Structures are given as structure tokens and as C-alpha cells.
Amino acid sequence: MGKKIAIVTGASSGFGMLTSIELAKQNYYVVATMRNVDKRFALLERVGEAKVAKLVEVFSLDVTNDHSLLVFKEKLRELGRVDVLVNNAGYAGAGFSEEIPINEYRQQFETNVFGAEISQQSSTKLRYPIGKGVKFTLFIKSCFPWRLWERMVMKKIE
């Protein structure tokens, strides 16, 4: 495949959806991942309107599910390379901290922190092949605990 390839996690709505569309408009082949592919129709409608439907592939990915991650790694091998990874999968729970069950915090951490890191690790060799230059990774997070996440992202950037 001659086009640049972008992976966008969490592409069923919001920033992930808009990023998928904009990358396709820039002539990237976009693998738009989402946990629930039943939510793909809004994305497909928007890429159709933008006349970039041939450049966007919807792919099922739950960053907290081992089987889903294995299938994703196989997809990455099929692609052969990744030029851009937009780590957008995640969610934010709301409420007073003492009222949020600890299991919700755990699930949020699995998705927003470990899920993003697993996506990063899965595609690293495809994004940084020897002698091919630096490629781009973007982490998008609006989750708790912000300070910890901020330090992790800054460490990646440095």
C-alpha cells in the first residue's frame, strides 16, 4: 500500500471520528478502531459525505480485551507499517471520588492508561523501522488521574 497509514483508536465518536475523517482527507489510509462496531454508522455517513469512504476501514478493537488485541496485532502485521497512531480510546467517569466504585477506576485505568500503552507497544516496530525516520504518535486523554497521565505522556515525548 503506497498511502500513509494511520490508526485511530476510539473512532466511533468525537475527536476520534473527526481525526479519522481529517486524516482521510489528507489522503491517509485510516484504520478507524472502535470497541463497538455497531456505532460505525455515524462515522461511515461522515466519511461518505467527505468523499473519503474508500480511505477509511472500520476495525473492531477493545483495548482491554486480549483476544481483540491479538486480532489487532495481526491487522498491523498485514498493514506492514503504521505512519500515525492516534491513541484516543478512553472514557471518563464522573462524580465525587468517594462515590465512584473502585472497579470503575480500575476499568478506566485499563482502558485509558494500559490500553493506550498496549496500542503504542503493538505498533512501535511498524512506526519506527530502522533507517526510516521518526513517525508520529498522539495520545489523547481527558481522564483521571491527570497528573500521572501527564507525566507518562511527557516521558514519552522527551
Q: What pLDDT shows up at residue 101?
A: 86
Place of cell 477506576: 105
Q: What pLDDT shows up at residue 67?
A: 94
What's the pTM value of the predicted model, to 2 decimals?
0.77
C-alpha cell at 47: 466519511
The CATH homologous superfamily for domain 5-157 is NAD(P)-binding Rossmann-like Domain (3.40.50.720)
Q: What pLDDT shows up at residue 131?
A: 46
pLDDT tens digits along 30-48: 999 999 999 999 999 999 9
**61-82: buried (b, 16+ CB within 10 Å) or exposed (e) per residue?**
bbbbeeebbeebeebbeebeeb
- Specify the 3-state DSSP secondary structure of 27: coil
Measured CA to CA, the distance from residue 74 to residue 80 in angstroms comes to 10
Q: For the chain, which ranges sit under pLDDT 70?
A: 1, 124-158
- Check: CB of residue 34 under 8 Å from CB of residue 7: no
Q: What pLDDT shows up at residue 80?
A: 87
- Check: CB of residue 136 under 8 Å from CB of residue 83: yes
Q: What pLDDT shows up at residue 137?
A: 55
**Interacting residues of 91 by C-beta distance below 8 A, sequence separation 6+:** 108, 111, 112, 143
